[in-house]
Structure 1
């Protein structure tokens, strides 16, 4: 079965799952960066301006 866009429903589901996984990874990365910046700010506030 082929959809209008030429991608089967199974491929669409797989792409959707991969997209969700990548969104979670990106969210985790952003959270890690925020945590690391907070740590730098507490330990060496003068370095924070160089990181932004």
Structure 2
């Protein structure tokens, strides 16, 4: 399996957290403020970083 394909499979585990972050931003789209979805973003970011390292 190619390296990019392998990496994509690893980070796919973070899709649910990405969806939660996206939903938060979408729900606040017209009134979003800095840090409004920070909790969801941090969880998504942490997941990506953990899975990127393998």
Same fold (TM over 0.5): no
Of structures 1 and 2, the one scoring higher in RCO (CA 8 A, sep 6+) is 2
TM-score by length of 1: 0.36
Q: Which has the higher helix share?
A: 1
Scaled by the length of structure 2, what TM-score is found?
A: 0.35
